[in-house]
Amino acid sequence: MSVRRAYFDHNATAPLRPQARWAMAAAMERVGNPSSVHSEGRQARGVVETAREQVASLVNAPKEAVIFTSGATEATHLALSPNIRSGGEARHASKLYVLETEHPCVLAGGRFEPEHVLAVPVKSDGFIDLAALEALLDVHDDASGAPFVAVQLANSETGVVQPVAEVARMVRFRGGYVLCDAVQAAGRLPIDVAKLGVDFLILSSHKIGGPMGAGALINAHSILETEPLLRGGGQETNRRAGTENVPAIAGFGEAAVQAASEAADFASITALRDSLEAGLLPICEKLGLADRLTIFGQSATRLGNTSLIALRGMKAETALIAFDLDGVAVSSGSACSSGKVGNSHVLQAMGVSPDVAQAAIRVSLGWNSTRDDVLQFLSVFERLAVGLARRLGGELRDSAA
C-alpha cells in the first residue's frame, strides 16, 4: 500500500500549478522563434511578452524592467557586476556588501572578486544588523567606486523578512546600488519594487509553482545597465543573449498570476503554519522535551509559510529520512547544496550552537498544503520525539547505574 505524501518543501521548489502546466502545453503547440518576423514568430513573441507583463505585475514593475533568465542564479550573476552604466556613463561599483544569511548564489559574489565581497552580520533572530551595515558604508571608499549591497527580502530557511526599504534608503543616500533577492517572498508577500527602492530584484519561476529553468532579473531603473553575462543575439533588448525558452516563460507568467492573487491574502497558509507550530510544544511538554524545542526567528517578522525548527538531540539527517519514509517531505535548509545534509550557514550566522543547528529541519508550505498534511507531520514528529525521549531516558539510567 502506498504511503500518503505530505509535501513541506515549497521553499526548495513548489509543485507545478495546473494553470502553469496548461500554459506550457499551449506554448509547446506553437511553432516559431520569438525573434522571427513571420506570423509564427510573432505569436511566440506574444507569448513571451504576455508573460513579461504577468511577471512584472507580480512585483508592480514596468514590463520593460523584466529580463528573463534560466533561473535566479543566472539573474543574480547578471546583476552582481562591478561594471554598471548609469545613463550611458560608466559608474563602477567597487565593493559588494552581502548579508551573511543570503542564498549561496548571492554569497558567491557574482562577478565581484572575492576580496571585494564583505559580509554584513545578522542578529540572533536572523534580522540584519543595521548599525553594522551603516558602519561598513561609513568607511566605504567612495573614490574607488560605489557600494553595492545585496539583501534578501525573506530568508529561505527561517523565513525572516528583512527591512529592504530601510536598507535601500541607507544605500541610496550614499550613492550605491541595491540587489534584492525576492525569490522566497514572491507570492507570499505583496511586493512593490518601487516602494522597496531597490535597483535590481530577483525572481524564480519554480518557487511560485512555475517550471524549473526560468527566472527573471527586474531592472528597476531603465537608466541602469549591467554588463551582459551572455553575448550573441539581441534577445531581451541586448541584456541576455539566447533564444527565449517560450514554454517555461509561459508557465512562469501564469504562475505569477496565481501567486499574485495569493500574496494579497496569505492568511490561510499562515494559519496552517501556525497550527503546525502550535502542535509541537504540547508533544514536547508531554515527553519532557520542551526545553529542547526551538523555533527559529519567532521574534522577527517571518514569511507565513516557513518554519525552521529543532528538537535538540534529534539529528536532522536521521529525521529527514524518517519523515520521508512516513510520507512527509521536509528539508534541512536550502536545497542548493548538492542534496547534502549539513549545518546551516544561516544558523551559524545567527550564532546558533552546533548541537541545536544539526537538529534543524525546515517546513515550508504552499498553494496545495492542507490541514491533513499538518496532522500527518505532527504524527510523525510525535513518533520521533517519543523515540528521542526513550533514548534520553535510557542514557540517564545507564549513567545512574
Task: Show which residues are catalytic.
Answer: 336
Question: What are the beta bridge partners of residue 216?
Answer: 68, 203
- Phi/psi of residue 150, nearest 5 degrees: -110, 120
The Cα–Cα gap between 324 and 314 comes to 15
From the list 274, 313, 312, the residue with the least C-alpha distance to 293 is: 312
Count the Cβ atoms, other than its own, within 10 Å of residue 320.
Answer: 18
The Cα–Cα gap between 202 and 187 comes to 13
Contact by Cβ (8 Å): 84, 239: no
Contact by Cβ (8 Å): 30, 45: no
C-alpha torsion 374→378→381→382, nearest 10: -170
SS3 of 117, please?
Answer: strand
Give the DSSP H or E segment for 56.
Answer: helix 39-58
Strand ranges for 287-384 from DSSP E: 293-295, 306-311, 328-329, 360-364
Cell numbers placing 82: 562591478
Q: Computed from CA positions of residues 333, 335, 337, 342, in that sequence, does the dihedral angle turn out positive or negative?
A: positive
DSSP string, 242-266: S---HHHHHHHHHHHHHHHHHHT--
SS3 of 6, please?
Answer: strand
Contacts of 68 (CB under 8 A, 6+ apart): 48, 51, 52, 214, 215, 216, 236, 240, 244, 245, 249, 252
Contact by Cβ (8 Å): 291, 216: no
Count the Cβ atoms, other than its own, within 10 Å of residue 279.
Answer: 16
